[in-house]
Chain A
Amino acid sequence: MEPLERYRPIVDDFEAFRAACERPLPSAVRVNTIKATAERVRRALDEADIAYDPVDWHDGLFVLPEDSPGANWPYFHGWVHGQEEVSAVPATVLDPQPGERVWDACAAPGSKTTQLAALMDDDGAVVATDNNLGRISALRTNTERLGATSIAVTHEDARNHSLKPFGGETYDRALVDVPCSCEGTIRKNPDAFEDWSLSHVEGIAGVQKGILKRAVEATAPGGTVVYSTCTFAPEENEAVLDFALEETACELVEYDLPLAHRPGVTEWEDEAYDPSVRTAKRIYPHHNDTGGFFCAKLEVTGE
């Protein structure tokens, strides 16, 4: 089933949206600042004759119009990591600082995990959780290649995440980049709609709520939680935030994002959500020529 049509009521310039979803997305890489600077990566790409385009909102991202990352020197050195533009959004919104404790609730394959470690100058603790050992293997491979020493990997269901291995300490921040219906990745994964069904959307929304709830609980009062998906479905986005506002000790907060975006929707089909879900940001493929994404910033209130 092709799900895009259901978003006609909430997406402006719907035909441009649909057309953008049909265009393939070029590869992009993020500079791994644990091992290199953007300047050295530019020089290394020049030496390797790899064309690259800067991205205006983030000086550590390059679009590779002709290549994919892999068999070249900057990749071998772990100076770059293949990561789509919008995928780099949630870690920058979480804005972790050196020395902090951070939980990445759904970490594999580790693009955002390693970005968190890099933002912290690889100083602090990033606990990276995933429930799938095969995907954990990919996460471990990426952690190694990028030279991150501050990442600990746990294999568990994020909904039941245990603080025990590290002495029961809570987190300063948590990234909740949940498994989702992945509609926004259609430009990278042309088969993203093949398994789409409303029952899958509704089922996975239950998992998302459980993970976000655990993240709010595991984060100290005053701490920050970022919730993100790569889907357009309000059931997996604003409805999950609405649940967290109702059931956990948190509130949504404003943040700046230098990419074109639209606010979260407060009404969808027969549902109405808390008005503060408007602080969440919807990123559509036709506005920035990227994938689709959803990102919200929450503060843990403690009561």
Chain B
Amino acid sequence: MSDESTTFTRLPATADEREDPERATRAEVLDFWTERFGVDPETFADYTFWERGAGKLWIYRGDPPSPVDVEGLGMTFLRTRQEHWKPTLEAAQRFGAHATKNVIHLDDEAARAFVAGEDRERDWDGDWGYLIVTHDIAGAVEPIGVGLYVYGELRSQVPKGRRREV
């Protein structure tokens, strides 16, 4: 039951160890989270990053010998091999609380629209591009997912299968 699509390859630590020039490195992934969202690289110290297929990165709490031929290895994490890297909704929910910039906070009504998949016009003073979207629940701020801010609009990036009328 093995084919290419089930092969996970661990990201090389740095560009010097890279065989596939298009493959992201661990250092680049840590830099991305620091530069884009202000997440301390220590946050990911206990995790390894793996690529399956072109550009789809997974995060795994473990360090098995690479490659690993399995159906899943931890959680989907980041889309690379494109101009603007894009965190998954799962990565935003699980690690987004560590973000200190490019975080947009929504009120209850806007948060519901976002989860339903709606794009909304709104003001935003920060960078364009992918943002971590948060709201208030149970007395604290909680990340919901990833939005794309362009042209005065916050576009919901909640995958179709995850959209809900909450």
Q: Determine which of A48, A136, A141 lies in contact with B71 in the assembled complex, contact meaning CB atoms within 8 Å.
A: A136
Query: What residues on A are CB-neighbors of B61 within 8 Å?
Result: 122-125, 149-150
Query: What residues on A are CB-neighbors of B90 within 8 Å?
Result: 144-145, 147
Q: Does A165 contact B (CB under 8 A)?
A: yes
Interface residues of B in 65-84 (CB under 8 A from A): 65, 68-76
Q: Does B21 contact A (CB under 8 A)?
A: no
* Contact count band on B: 35 or more
B62 with A144: CB separation less than 8 A: no
* Contact count band on A: 35 or more
Q: Does B130 contact A (CB under 8 A)?
A: no
A73 with B137: CB separation less than 8 A: yes
Q: Report the bound CA distance from A78 to B75 in whole Å.
A: 13
Q: Report the bound CA distance from A47 to B75 in whole Å.
A: 29
Nearest to A125 among chain B residues (CB) is B62
Interface residues of A in 253-277 (CB under 8 A from B): none
**A147-B94, A156-B1 are contacts. A167–B138 as well, Cβ < 8 Å?**
no
**A149-B94, A153-B72 are contacts. A47–B138 as well, Cβ < 8 Å?**
yes
Nearest to A128 among chain B residues (CB) is B72
A155 with B71: CB separation less than 8 A: yes
Q: Report the bound CA distance from A140 to B75 in whole Å.
A: 9
Q: Report the bound CA distance from A163 to B140 in whole Å.
A: 43
Q: Mark B86-119, 1 if CB is under 8 A from A, else 0.
A: 0010100110000000000000000000010000
Interface residues, chain A, CB within 8 Å of chain B? 34-36, 40-41, 43-44, 47-48, 70-73, 75-78, 122-125, 128, 133, 136, 139-141, 143-145, 147-156, 165-167
12 new A-B contacts at CB < 8 Å, known A76-B144, A77-B137: A43-B138, A43-B139, A44-B138, A148-B75, A149-B47, A149-B60, A152-B72, A153-B70, A153-B71, A165-B64, A165-B68, A165-B70
Interface residues, chain B, CB within 8 Å of chain A? 1, 6, 46-47, 59-62, 64-65, 68-76, 88, 90, 93-94, 115, 137-140, 142, 144, 161-162, 164-166
